Structure 1
């Protein structure tokens, strides 16, 4: 969980000082009150008898991540118009040399297998945050270990 946007109890928003998030994703009330025992699931969240939590999932993005996503988004918006999509690269030419300048195109299938996009900033950011090209995060499980409770937000 990245952060809690809003907590509504009986249609009223709680101030952020009235709760915190403990690992693993437990919402804890800190103002001395209790959470509701039940709610009217048919009523809108703005009505009495309801309880709702709005939160964002994931991690906060740094400037490099925002630049990489912006480059990828711009590429999609520019390149995917009716009649054309993607980079304007002649896929029939793999390597070209002229007047001392050599230009080559990566094989798109190989590039995508390696987890690259073909865009410099996006590929640089991907290599920075995932240098070994892992497809999922590493995990170790133990049935005996119970992690201690810790505050994650605010």
Structure 2
């Protein structure tokens, strides 16, 4: 399940179609939102960026330990049995990495992470120099301190004993995405205009006609149900963009589940 159920804001548009001069801007804005929501879902629900605030859980070194140990039994070092059967000491202040000589203190943020707006620990906002983001979404602390191993989840964000990260997630919208949503917005607006309105004959959205015979000329048109079932629209720019960014027609971002990974907590109400 993605962090959002729809685009947080309508995608920007650069309309290149001819619309009536007296058309209410609210109509264009409404169909802009509809077009953004349609393309957001058809492209795999990965585009944003959208702001979100999470309360992470730091990855502990003992999450992969095959036995249960007492955190208070050995001071700052806790003995455990590794996968090879050898006894080792685990530090409670960081975790080793297969590509780092030292221990890394990090939390995993559902991504892709676009940028970090604020990191608040115990009610104090950290300076950006105190952390960095490693792909795909690891927030690593680099100021010599470590992220809290636990926090007061019952306390409001920003209170003492809490740990919150506010960031924007999602892929950035490029010129191709803007061109696609602009074309779809135009066609949705034109399809909504009354028959006979100037510019309405330019609408290219597929309807329910599959064959046209006029003056002895027969034209077979694509079945719109087939177009929509293949997660396409029949519009050149839109379908070209979708074929590039989502060639396998994914309905949501790819996810990997692990019993060792604790997802950050996100408050949805109030």
Normalising by structure 1, we get a TM-score of 0.63
Q: Any idea what SS the aligned residue of 2:133 has?
A: strand
Change (3 A) 1:28 1:92: closer
Q: Provide closer, same or farther for how the CA distance between residues 105 and 23 of structure 1 changes in structure 2, counting only shifts above 3 A.
A: same
1:113 maps onto 2:113 in alignment: no
Distance 1:95 1:52, change over 3 A: same
- Supply the RMSD in Å over aligned alpha carbons: 3.5
- Tell me the SS of whatever aligns to 2:171: coil
Cα shift readout 1:76-115 (whole Å, capped 9, x = no counterpart): 567579xxxxx776524633556x9x86642111111332
Quote the Cα distance in structure 2 between the aligned partners of 1:11 and 1:56. 20
For normalisation by structure 2, the TM-score amounts to 0.39
Task: Name the larger-Rg structure.
Answer: 2
Any gaps of 5 or more consecutive residues in structure 1? 82-86, 140-154
Of 122, 137, 155, the match for 1:43: 155
Say if 1:72 and 1:122, in contact at 8 Å, map to a contact too. Answer: yes
Which residue of structure 2 lines up, in the alignment, with residue 60 of structure 1? Answer: 172
Structure 2: 5+ residue stretches without partners: 1-111, 194-203, 255-270
Q: Structure 1 residue 27: deviation in Å?
A: 1.4
Matched pairs, number:
131
Map of 1:90-101 to 2, 5 A cutoff? 91-92=208-209, 94-97=211-214
**Contact 1:10-1:45 within 8 A present in 2 as well:** no
Q: 1:43 to 1:129 in 2, by over 3 A?
A: same
